Amino acid sequence: MLAALLLGGCSTPVYDYGPYLAHMPRSILVLPPINDSEEVRATYGWLSTVTLPLAERGYYVFPVAVVDELLKQNGMPTAMDMQTVPLGKVREIIGADAVLYTRIREWGTSYQLINSQTSVLVDCYMVDVDTGVEIWRVSRKAVYNSSRADASLLGLIVNAITALVEQIASDVSDYAADVGAQVNSSLAGGYDGLLVGPYHPRYAEDQELQRDALAARQKEAAENAAAEEGK
Amino acid sequence: MATGRRLVVLGLLFCGFGCGPGTMYQWGEYQDLLYAAYMEPGSVDVQDEIGRLSDQIERTEQADELVPPGVRAHLASLLYQTGDAEGSASMFLAEKEAFPESAVFVDGMIERMKQ
């Protein structure tokens, strides 16, 4: 029992892919994100870099700009409106298997005298269109720090000049788009990332791996429950 | 000028994982064009965008490589904007042929264009 606790305490975190595997999508409709940041360019900065990582992971991704335009023409002028579109409509008009909903919580650069920090933080979740079941949820953050820590006076001067040059060259919030793209490319990675999709060459292999892992965890949980009861 | 630099930076960034032999699809300028069109509306001329995407699709197909999801449908939508309904419909159908997942969407787009 103690050993089990210790092992459990040290293992890498496990993500429950049960609902995801049960409703494995082939196609994903990416809705424009709700933007909580003060940067108005965040919405489309994010939207213009999300297709590549999802498609390369093996999913069909509907053309983001065409969908955006279609929803606007159908009485949904804002991302907030679009994210309330009924799943029945999504099935009827788009035919998507899953919808990806996103909220941008941070997107921007804060400048100080000798350094600047650009951070992007997004929350995403994906819903199965047929059942409305949430199949995936993650938060992703990326930070780009342009400071170069150096205590010497020369270092400070060099840093000040570097920061100034970078600030001019960066066209104010320029870095955010690159950091946002980094966040998007990280959606596929990590212990809780997007599963490998049907167009990916490793799809069959990964499905088997994931299903085996899920079955092993379910078996373990059942055994633990039985042991509890036997006490 | 700012847009030019932006495109270069994005291009470099994406080529890190988007244009090399490690990717399934040939992304070309698709995402850069999306970015430019959204950030500075009018900065990319529609005819110019159509030319670039058409070239990209043609080159990719000739090299027997894969055009990413949505690129043909995006081009189809631009063609419709410029009044080329026939070209638009055939590009939408090409999207459906490459990716059957787009069937409901593509058929609906073609249907709405006729109205």
How far does the CA of residue B40 sit from the closest CA of chain A (Å)? 10
Query: Which stretches of chain A sit within 8 Å of chain B by CB?
Result: 26-27, 41, 44-45, 47-49, 51-52, 55-56, 58-66, 69-70, 91-97, 169, 171, 174, 177-178, 181, 185, 199-201
Beta-strand pair A34-35/A98-111: parallel
Q: At what angle do helices B71-81 and B30-39 cross, to 10 degrees?
A: 50
DSSP collapsed to 3 states, chain B = CHHHHHHHHHHHHHHHHCCCCCCCECCCCHHHHHHHHHHCCCCCCHHHHHHHHHHHHHHHHHCCCECCCCHHHHHHHHHHHCCCHHHHHHHHHHHHHHCHHHHHHHHHHHHHHHC
pLDDT at position A12: 73
Contacts 24+ apart (CB under 8 A), A187-192: A187/A50, A187/A53, A187/A54, A187/A57, A187/A124, A187/A138, A187/A140, A188/A53, A188/A54, A188/A56, A188/A57, A190/A138, A191/A12, A191/A13, A191/A14, A191/A15, A192/A13, A192/A15, A192/A138
Q: pLDDT (tens digit, 9 = 90+) per residue, B74-103?
A: 999 999 999 999 999 999 999 999 999 999
pLDDT at position A154: 53
Nearest CB neighbour to A60, from listed B37, B69, B76: B69
How far does the CA of residue B56 sit from the closest CA of chain A (Å)? 16
Cβ pair B6:A94 closer than 8 A: no
pLDDT at position A4: 44
Cβ pair B25:A56 closer than 8 A: yes
Nearest CB neighbour to A171, from listed B2, B24, B35: B2
How far does the CA of residue B57 sit from the closest CA of chain A (Å)? 15
Q: pLDDT (tens digit, 9 = 90+) per residue, B35-82?
A: 888 887 778 899 999 999 999 999 999 999 999 999 999 999 999 999
Whether residue B15 is predicted with pLDDT greater than 50 in this model: the reply is no
Alpha carbons A135 and B94: distance in angstroms, whole number: 31
Which position has the higher pLDDT, B2 or A185? A185
Alpha carbons B53 and B77: distance in angstroms, whole number: 12
Q: Which residues of A touch B102 (CB under 8 A)?
A: 27, 60, 62, 95
Which candidate, B35, B37, B44, places its Cα nearest to that of B14? B35
Chain B: residue whose CA lies nearest to A63: B70
Mean pLDDT by 10 residues, chain A (231 residues): 47 88 98 94 92 97 96 94 96 97 91 78 97 97 71 54 52 72 90 96 96 93 90 70
Chain B: residue whose CA lies nearest to A97: B101
Q: Specify the CATH architecture of the domain A14-200.
A: 3-Layer(aba) Sandwich (3.40)
pLDDT at position B22: 81
Q: At what angle do helices B71-81 and B46-62 cross, to 10 degrees?
A: 140
Q: Given CB atoms, is B6 within the 8 Å cutoff of chain A?
A: yes
How far does the CA of residue A24 sit from the closest CA of chain B (Å)? 14
pLDDT at position A161: 58
Domain ranges of chain A: 14-200
